[in-house]
Amino acid sequence: MKTPAAFAADYSRSVMIALPLALATIALALAVGASHDDTLHSLAVFMGTWGNDIFLLAANGLIFAWAWRRRRRSLIALTLWLDFVVWLTVQGTKLLLVGTEWALRPNGHPGGFPSGHATHGFAMAFLLTMLFPRLAWLWYLGAASISWARIESYDHSGVQVAAGILLGVAIGCSLTANWLKRRQEAETQPAGPRVEPVAVKHVS
């Protein structure tokens, strides 16, 4: 079973992987717009709907199974909490910006800032990378592909996707760091005072 120190090392590595990949994806999102190609548009619509659902369900299921087998139930709670915080933060931000130009999607619909798909994808990729670092390329390829799909399908602008990516990495980093801190505190707490058994004398 992994120790808190081992998880801390995995966390640091996950941060080092997340930052350059997130920045590279943001640069592409801001530099490359929608191609207006019908074939790519159809692929993007699939990636932004079914592809996104498959990625998130598979990620949650993989973490749940891994944590259950290793008796790390707190990781299941962390994953569910991450899902909820992403949803709450994205929807709360959209409510605050309702009616503003920032919130308008390229297709003219409201509720575009930030991209919830990009936020959730990159937050989940961060957690997956901490647990399964050898497949970091796969996790971030999935998150980046979903982010690209939102631009190609005219659901989000590059700025809205970039904001989602930054928000997702920030949520992944902060929630995981808090989880690590609580694990370290729980496993370094001193044990309670030892109570010696009291001998009972039998009177004849």
pLDDT tens per residue across span 145-169 = 999 999 999 999 999 999 999 999 9
In a domain, 11, yes or no: yes
In a domain, 90, yes or no: yes
pLDDT category at 51 given cuts 50, 70, 90 is: very high
Torsion of CA 152, 153, 155, 156, to 10 degrees: 0
| Residue the block writes with tokens 């592809």 | 51
In a domain, 151, yes or no: yes
pLDDT tens-digit readout, 164-186: 999 999 999 999 999 999 888 77
Q: Which domain holds residue 83?
A: 4-184
d(CA 129, CA 138): 9
d(CA 120, CA 55): 10
**Residue 201: per-residue pLDDT:** 58
In a domain, 47, yes or no: yes
In a domain, 64, yes or no: yes
Residue 89: other Cβ atoms inside 10 A: 18
126 Cβ contact partners less than 8 Å away, ≥ 6 residues apart? 14, 18, 168, 169, 172, 173, 176
d(CA 159, CA 90): 15
In a domain, 101, yes or no: yes
* Cα 69 off chain centre by: 21
In a domain, 104, yes or no: yes
pLDDT tens-digit readout, 102-117: 899 999 999 999 999 9
Number of domains in the chain: 1
The Cα-based distances of 204 to 175, 200, 201 in angstroms read 64, 13, 9
Under DSSP, the state recorded for 67 is: H
**Residue 192: per-residue pLDDT:** 53
In a domain, 37, yes or no: yes
